[in-house]
Amino acid sequence: MEKLLKLPNHLYPSDFDIYLFHEGTLFESYKLLGAHVLSETDFQGVRFAVWAPHAKQVSVVGNFNNWNGYQNQMERIEHSGIWILFVPELSEGANYKYEVTGPDGHKELKADPYAFYTELRPDTASVIYELNNYEWQDQKWMAQRAKTDPYQKPMMIYEVHLASWKQKKDGQFYTYQELADELVDYAVDNNFTHIELMPVMEHPFDGSWGYQITGFFSATSRYGTPEQLMYFIDRCHQKGLGVILDWVPAHFCKDIQGLGRFDGTPLYESADPLRAERPIWGTYSFDYSKPEVVSFLISNAMFWMDVYHVDGFRVDAVSSIVYLNHDNPLPVKLKNQYGGEENVEAVQFLKKLNETIFKKYPNALMMAEEATDWPLVTSPTSQGGLGFNYKWNMGWANDVLKYMKLDVNERPKHHQLLTFSFCYAFSENYVLPFSHDEIVHGKRSLVNKMPGTYWQKFANLRLLLGYLFVHPGKKLLFMGSEFGQFDEWKFKDELDWMLLDFDSHSNFFHYYKQLSRFYQETNSLWRLDHDEAGFEWIDDNSNQSVITFMRKGKRKGDYCLIVCNFSADVYHNYQIGVPSFGTYFEAFTSDTASFGGSNQVNSNPIQSSKLPYHNQPCSMKITVPPLGISIFMKQTKARLKGVNTNEI
């Protein structure tokens, strides 16, 4: 070892770490591989290490050696496939790549798979960078997170594409630091509990939105430096906001500097082109059968949690990971060794990923974007599950939006689209997502999906968001939907903020803020989100497009009654069953004039009668607004005194 590097043993990768890497269990492999600045008394410089088992030769080239592949040639650690080199007197900020000579003698310049920073596109060199200089101020958040159960808390996620949330007058992007001062306050002021960032890992093409990555460990330089991203996350935490990252372990882009054919052969991807190719995306799939790839991916997830303090991940394209043929129009159907279409190695990878994350971070958020009926996505691996703790309910979003696009006269014939989700609402721990996928590629914005007149469009949208907030499951809303962005998402341009100058949009924005505040303050709407005990049907009236149900908290008598009218008719003296005798009041409605509604409200307290109805012992008569949602609560001494019962 000393002959190879002339470094003391403690600065050299240990045999045990190398063993774990090849076993698929080195979950901090970013400490072993990549470029690391050494600043010991006798060793000032950078140690480079890269996995390239089939390469004939690897050199470090950069602006410090005129990109000369003969000057800094690496040496292979015997029987490891890892190449290593110490370059003295080299420091942070230098640009570099690996010049990899493949088995056929062809040379290619490759970015470092473990690089912590990258040149600004279109340049693609890796940048030597130290990540341990930022002084975090989120100790209170981190301590609280460690003892907070996310299941029984309100969760309203704001999904954001940083480049197009807001732009400077000249079209330039805001930096992470600038966004920390503007976006964070905006999210807090509008009652979001988490920000979900579409991928901020380095990617060459803006139009991929970050889902085709070259630098999995590199915070994209589009928006500034790693410290600026840390500052953004730190400020989120100081303001009480969690941070979720979109994470893409399904595939990677084919750009020449990336992971594809990294050592001149298929390395991170399968040697079988049918398994390696993702024709629909023009990318390569990761080969989960290689332990080194598993070490790479799990280390990447741990890296963002360890180094950047993120609170969890929305794991992209889980269906494409677990199924060999999902979104993969190949000429033949792929089969596993047992004759099925499941990707056996990928399933094991996801289980190991979740086990590893939850072992260190028990209250992390691991959210699967999974679009099929794969069972037990959010069940523990010990019970045969994939081990996530949340799954996007994409079926719910698809069905509800399909229903809402219908003319009101057509809705009774398709009522099941609205209510089918209650048949499986508690089979997984769900997030209800109105994400970017729903408002791009010609699908239109949420408000522009709605039928009817301009007034009806906004009434429908108020109803839709109201239904989102009262339906069991956590919530996610893509940026701009909170104020009724009328055009679908345009990733090259900022949101249409000027719409807030118009009454329809400003009234709707006011509605969203009041609705989200009411949601957070009403624990029966979230305390039992994943428990059947938190929901009870009262009436499913398909003929009039009205549904009535209860959401319940943990305490006896803690409930709210919800009436949703998906027709354009007003119903006066509409009778509903209630669970007990007493006085009820309308705690929230979408139809007030200040929201842009028709003001068909229940202004006065309502005394229920002891007349049984809808399988309830009592009943009452109410006004049901057109295309509206009304929420009723029973008057109690605590509510009369204004006591907040959420902590009870």
Looking at residue 330, its pLDDT comes to 78
Looking at residue 478, its pLDDT comes to 98
**Is the pLDDT score of 191 beyond 80?**
yes
**Is the pLDDT score of 638 beyond 80?**
no
- Per-residue pLDDT, averaged over 268-275, amounts to 95
- Per-residue pLDDT, averaged over 442-470, amounts to 97
Query: Which two tokens mark 338?
Result: 């047992």
CA–CA distances in Å: residue 488 to residues 407, 441, 479, 494:
21, 8, 11, 12
**CATH architecture of the domain with residue range 532-640:** Sandwich (2.60)
Looking at residue 42, its pLDDT comes to 76
Instruction: Provide CB contacts within 8 A for 301, sequence distance 6+.
Output: 247, 249, 313, 353, 356, 357
Looking at residue 332, its pLDDT comes to 87
Q: Which of 367, 244, 232, 268 is nearest to 50 (CA)?
A: 268
Q: Is 569 helix (H, G, I), strand (E, B) or coil?
A: coil
Looking at residue 2, its pLDDT comes to 36
Instruction: Provide CB contacts within 8 A for 171, sequence distance 6+.
Output: none
CA distance 531 to 40: 55
pLDDT (tens digit per residue) in 376-386: 999 999 999 99
CA distance 630 to 346: 45
pLDDT (tens digit per residue) in 141-175: 999 999 999 999 999 999 999 999 999 999 999 99
CA–CA distances in Å: residue 558 to residues 531, 538, 576:
15, 16, 18
Sheet with 82-88, side-by-side order of all strands: 34-40, 43-51, 82-88, 75-76
Reported as type and span, the H/E element at residue 85 is strand 82-88
Query: Which two tokens mark 444?
Result: 């239109």
Whether omega for the bond prior to residue 331 falls within 30 degrees of 0, making it cis, is no
Which of 377-385's residues contact partners 24+ apart within 8 Å by CB, and which partners? 377/318, 377/428, 378/428, 378/429, 381/351, 381/354, 381/355
Q: Cβ(85)–Cβ(74) under 8 Å?
A: yes
* Burial class (CB within 10 angstroms; exposed 0-12, middle 13-18, buried 19+) of 438: buried
The letter for the amino acid at 38 is L
Angle between helices 503-521 and 454-470 (to 10 degrees): 10
CA distance 121 to 420: 46
Enzyme catalytic residues: 316, 369
pLDDT (tens digit per residue) in 221-238: 999 999 999 999 999 999
Q: Is 643 helix (H, G, I), strand (E, B) or coil?
A: coil
Q: Cβ(433)–Cβ(392) under 8 Å?
A: yes
Can 2-127 and 532-640 be said to share one CATH topology?
A: yes
Looking at residue 395, its pLDDT comes to 95
CA distance 447 to 461: 6
Looking at residue 558, its pLDDT comes to 94
Domain ranges (residues) in the chain: 2-127, 532-640
DSSP letter string, 125-154: -EE-----------HHHHHHHHT--GGGS-
**Is the pLDDT score of 526 beyond 90?**
yes
CA distance 475 to 464: 12
Reported as type and span, the H/E element at residue 521 is helix 503-521
**CATH architecture of the domain with residue range 2-127:** Sandwich (2.60)
**Is the pLDDT score of 642 beyond 70?**
no
Query: Which two tokens mark 296?
Result: 């790479």
Query: 1-5, 502-506, 625-629 — which is least confidently predicted?
Result: 1-5
CA distance 489 to 205: 17
Q: Cβ(252)–Cβ(270) under 8 Å?
A: no
CA distance 437 to 445: 10
Instruction: Provide CB contacts within 8 A for 222, sequence distance 6+.
Output: 120, 121, 162, 163, 173, 206
How many CB atoms within 10 Å of residue 606?
Answer: 18
List the beta bridge partners of residue 201.
219
Q: How confident is the model at residue 647 (pLDDT cuts 50, 70, 90)?
A: very low
Q: How confident is the model at residue 4 (pLDDT cuts 50, 70, 90)?
A: very low
Residue 121: HSE in the Cβ half-sphere, 13 Å Cα cutoff: 18
The letter for the amino acid at 166 is K
- Per-residue pLDDT, averaged over 578-603, amounts to 97
pLDDT (tens digit per residue) in 90-139: 999 999 999 999 999 999 999 999 999 999 999 999 999 999 999 999 99
Instruction: Provide CB contacts within 8 A for 45, sequence distance 6+.
Output: 37, 38, 86, 87, 88, 89, 90, 91
- Per-residue pLDDT, averaged over 213-219, amounts to 98
Q: Where are the alpha helices (DSSP H) in 406-445?
A: 416-419
Looking at residue 639, its pLDDT comes to 62
Q: Cβ(323)–Cβ(336) under 8 Å?
A: no
CA distance 351 to 348: 5
**Is the pLDDT score of 3 beyond 60?**
no
**Is the pLDDT score of 294 beyond 50?**
yes
Q: Say how many residues make up the chain.
A: 648
Looking at residue 640, its pLDDT comes to 58
pLDDT (tens digit per residue) in 5-62: 566 777 778 899 999 999 999 999 999 999 999 987 777 899 999 999 999 999 999 9
Looking at residue 648, its pLDDT comes to 36
Task: Please provide the average confidence, as pLDDT, over all residues in the chain.
Answer: 95
pTM of the model: 0.95
Q: Which of 246, 190, 169 is nearest to 494 (CA)?
A: 169
CA distance 577 to 622: 11
Looking at residue 6, its pLDDT comes to 64
Instruction: Provide CB contacts within 8 A for 403, sequence distance 6+.
Output: 411, 414, 417, 418, 566
Q: Cβ(571)–Cβ(565) under 8 Å?
A: yes
Instruction: Provide CB contacts within 8 A for 618, sequence distance 6+.
Output: 577, 578, 579, 580, 581, 608, 609, 610, 611, 612
